[in-house]
Amino acid sequence: PRVERTVFQALSMHPNERPASARDMRDMLIGSRTPLSPVNSDVLIANVSWWSAIQANFVLLGTAAALLLIAVILVLFAPGAPS
């Protein structure tokens, strides 16, 4: 948990929540300084089902599938394509 909290704090979005120097980060990892808990720990764990993710990205997935189909057709029916 200590390493995980240190890494999450080092990757914080706002610079004032990150360690100020390498020495501060070392102190959080092996020293006496305790890493802060993430402010919004709910953000780190997303409970999203596959179905809701597919619904939210339906246009993107459809576009990717259409482009893949076009690419396969072009490769298979290109002049001089290996048979």
* Confidence grade of residue 46 (pLDDT, cut at 50, 70, 90): low
| 40, 55: one domain | no
| 34, 72: one domain | no
| 3, 31: one domain | yes
Q: Is the pLDDT of residue 1 over 90?
A: no
Range of the domain at 61: 48-83
The count of domains in the chain is: 2
Q: How far apart (Å, rounded) are the C-alpha atoms in residues 35 and 5? A: 6
What DSSP assignment string belongs to 23-52? Answer: HHHHHHHHSSPPPPPPTTHHHHS----HHH
| 31, 69: one domain | no
Digit-coded pLDDT (tens) for 3-34: 888 888 889 888 888 888 988 888 888 877 66
| 2, 42: one domain | yes
| Between 52 and 42, residue with greater pLDDT | 52
Backbone angles phi, psi at 46, to 5 degrees: -105, 125
pTM here is 0.42
DSSP for residue 76: H
| 25, 61: one domain | no
Mean pLDDT for all residues in the chain: 82
| 35, 66: one domain | no
**Tokens coding 37:** 């808990």
Q: Is the pLDDT of residue 35 over 80?
A: no
